[in-house]
Amino acid sequence: MFILSLWEADMASPAQGKGPGPPRIHDLPVAERPRERLRSMGPGALSHAELLAILLRTGQAGESALALAQRLLATFGGLGGLASASFAELERVKGLGLAKAAQVHAALELGKRLLSLPPEERPAIRGPQDVVSLVMADMSLLPQESLRVVLLNTRNQVLGVHEVYRGNVNTALVRPAEVFREAVRHTCPSIIVVHNHPSGDPTPSADDVETTRRLVSAGRLLDIEVLDHIVVGKGQWVSLKAQGLGF
């Protein structure tokens, strides 16, 4: 990661007097700060370390919040190990202490509880508006195209939303195997595809329609129904299913 490489380079430089310490997050260009990246690009664009740095808020003397987050992940062998760590183990990590250990432990516990929600508490999709309500706040602000898949169970309840592509979403780049991978893993009977138009105009392009046709066809072979393909703009959206495009 560029930010960490910059920090490491500074630390490796020969000391000349006291000199400047490692760069703080506030010293970085605005576009490279985790909070600003979260706001402009959405949480899916951030690394585990960046998300954790937002949670930690501050580092310690000689170590930024981002560097502390990276060290924390390395100490426990990644996000899975961190989620399994006890409160006492977190509190023993240099730079955490009681307050930060509590923040991390509480956030990870919320994530575990979200994954274990009983079926009746999971949001259900009754129409395209429900999907839009789920993703609009995030996707309508993205500066790049993002294609996501909403995974549904037999009762059309949301099991998860997975980003498959970020960048130029067109027929040549979208591979059905990648779009359906999580649905196959979780044995989902149906999915809804969503992508955004950064221009703000959600009018489906010829590529959008062709991509929809290919995904609907692939879904039939996999016995996974593509219920809709929704294009999100700035405060507007279009359901390709409702328009009869690609279905």
Please name the residue that has the structure tokens 């602000």.
141
CATH number where 228 lies? 3.40.140.10
Q: What is the predicted pLDDT for the residue at 217? A: 96
Q: In the chain, how many domains are there?
A: 2
Question: Containing domain of residue 159, as a range?
Answer: 120-243
Residues 69 and 6 in one domain: yes
pLDDT per residue as tens digits for the range 31-62: 667 888 877 777 767 788 888 999 998 888 88
Instruction: Look at residues 80, 100, 115 and tell me which one is the last residue of a structural domain.
Output: 115
Q: What is the predicted pLDDT for the residue at 28? A: 64
Residues 184 and 100 in one domain: no
Q: What is the predicted pLDDT for the residue at 167? A: 76
Q: What is the predicted pLDDT for the residue at 227? A: 97
Instruction: Look at residues 100, 115, 130 and tell me which one is the last residue of a structural domain.
Output: 115
Residues 69 and 160 in one domain: no
Residues 92 and 125 in one domain: no
Q: What is the predicted pLDDT for the residue at 152? A: 95
DSSP one-letter code for 30: G
Q: What is the predicted pLDDT for the residue at 120? A: 64
Instruction: Look at residues 51, 82, 115 and tell me which one is the last residue of a structural domain.
Output: 115
Residues 8 and 79 in one domain: yes
pLDDT per residue as tens digits for the range 100-139: 999 999 988 887 776 666 666 677 899 999 999 888 877 8
Residues 55 and 71 in one domain: yes
Name the H helices within the chain.
2-12, 34-41, 48-56, 65-76, 79-84, 87-91, 97-115, 128-139, 176-185, 206-222, 240-243
Q: What is the predicted pLDDT for the residue at 115? A: 62
Residues 212 and 148 in one domain: yes
Residues 47 and 138 in one domain: no
Give the C-alpha separation, 27 to 56, whole Å: 17
Residues 169 and 90 in one domain: no
pTM recorded for the entire structure = 0.56
Residues 173 and 146 in one domain: yes
Q: What is the predicted pLDDT for the residue at 122? A: 75
Could you tell me if 214 and 174 are in contact, meaning their C-beta atoms sit under 8 angstroms apart?
yes
Q: What is the predicted pLDDT for the residue at 244? A: 95
- Average pLDDT by consecutive 10-residue portion of the chain (247 residues)? 38 42 60 77 77 89 89 89 89 91 89 68 86 84 87 91 79 84 93 94 94 96 97 92 95
Residues 10 and 60 in one domain: yes
Give the C-alpha separation, 55 to 69, whole Å: 9
